[in-house]
Structure 1
Amino acid sequence: MLLRNQDWGEVWHALTSYRPTVLLLALGFVVCSFVLFSSYDLLGRRYTGHRLPARQVLPLAFVCYAFNLNLSAWVGGVALRFRLYSRLGLDTPTITRILGFGLVTNWLGYLLVAGCLFTLGFPKLPAGLEIGSSGLRVIGIAMLIAAIGYLLACRFAKRREWNIRGQQITLPSWRLAALQALMGAGNWCLMGLVIHTLLPEKAGYPTLLATLMVSSIAGVITHIPAGLGVLESVFITLLQGQYSQGTLLAALIGYRAVYFLLPLLVACVTYLVLERVAARQRGRAGTSATEGEAG
């Protein structure tokens, strides 16, 4: 309904008007974001104590993140992570703990960033929305309480281990939890910077970042891979008074191209390389075992 009367000529004009320097800056933020997100698994290595080197962990985490963004968490976050880590010799409980730790890192950062923005009144909601600005502030305060509660638990809790359905849950140290907060919040801020780079200076970075926060949780609730259509609908609804639809759509198409599709293409190639390396390692292991039996 929002795009029914869209002037696609305006969108095309906005897309072709991007200067190379703007696109390079946006790509720079994308690279920083993916490096930072992939480093969540390095925190997971420290948390679980496994000894896989960073040269194996970072490419694996990058592939999982790119597939997660485009094809849902079940494909990238769960299935691929279990497949790739198990091929490197990690057992299921360790992989589960890495996965859970990464999820906590990501959503801890979300709670902190979104909580601060919503509490400060960003974004300004259009008249007629049931939740209203006051309701959004209450949600923001609740988010901050939840995030701070986790950090305080990591600092002061006396009981630090639980066993739930056969899975051991251990609170990380205070320093590790602080790194989770910084890295998680930093990644969300970098995502907002990509969109901010592709849009003219009107709404301001806090408003754009807060709108991204709303669209991200809306995408999770609707279970649509990559939030396709959800991201665009939220941005157009909340920012239609400050930007034309064509300008917004051009920026969001550019955002999807540089943050979703381009990394996915690189991740596909990386995944094939990882599979080939794993196959070679299995072949060498099989040859060694055969030679050992012969000896």
Structure 2
Amino acid sequence: MNILIALIPAIGWGIQPMIISKMGGRETNQILGTGLGALLVGLVTLLLTNMVTGAAFWMSLLSGAFWVIGQTGQYISFNRIGVSKTMPLSTGFQLVGTSLIGVLMFGEWKGAGARVFGFLAIALIIVGVLMTTVGEKSDGKDNSTMAAALTTLLPTTIGYWIYSVLPKIPLLADKSGMSYFFPQMLGIFLGASVYALVMSKGKAFSEAATWKNGIVGIVFSLSALAYIFSAKANGVATAYVITQLNVVISTLGGMFVLHEARRGRAMTFTLLGLLLVVVGSVVTAFL
């Protein structure tokens, strides 16, 4: 049963990029719809648990708002280079950044051996990410599109780093994770609302595509909620490792469900690179 709980976030976050691609709309519709769905689940959870701590509320809300920055960059990248290319890149950037922050700020990977294996794991992730960018042939247009996507994806990933790091601060040290779930979802909604107000001058709030994308926020937040229960039942390391299946699901889904062309050597390098990203993430989880 515990493993089944652990699979929920892996599957949910894995199919999320495919759902967003099927729902359509502009990035403003997608991120605002995600925020609306997340707020709905957050409110229901708040009513059922009534778990919000005053000290952690504002930091948790800020954490959710920063998540919007990372997710917006991901949505933009989906439209530029596709899900199957974006997800390994985005996952790799997130893993490298959060791992290094964990070592530098929180003293993780204690001991020389742990650090050696940790940095080897990061090297594997970087190599894996680079392998997923290999195309079928050299194409100047493809290269320029990839470069444009990277200039958006890499800086916005900082939002994911902050989202992941803030709950580790002693102020937010809640082993259950439930006390910061609602404020994070609220932060996601507020951050998405600000983005939609600025980018669409408020039009996104009345567009049908926004409300359709609410399902994405529901899937994301239910998966995040399931991860909290999984970490408690299985341990953080095991729960985290299992969630890394999401990048496999989303990348393969992009290729075979969304029919994003990856053939020949591009397919081979993508699959091998994906394997390295997953292996690297598994190693970092157990250090």
TM-score range, shorter-chain basis?
0.3 to 0.5
TM-score (norm 1): 0.36
Larger radius of gyration: 1
TM-score (norm 2): 0.37
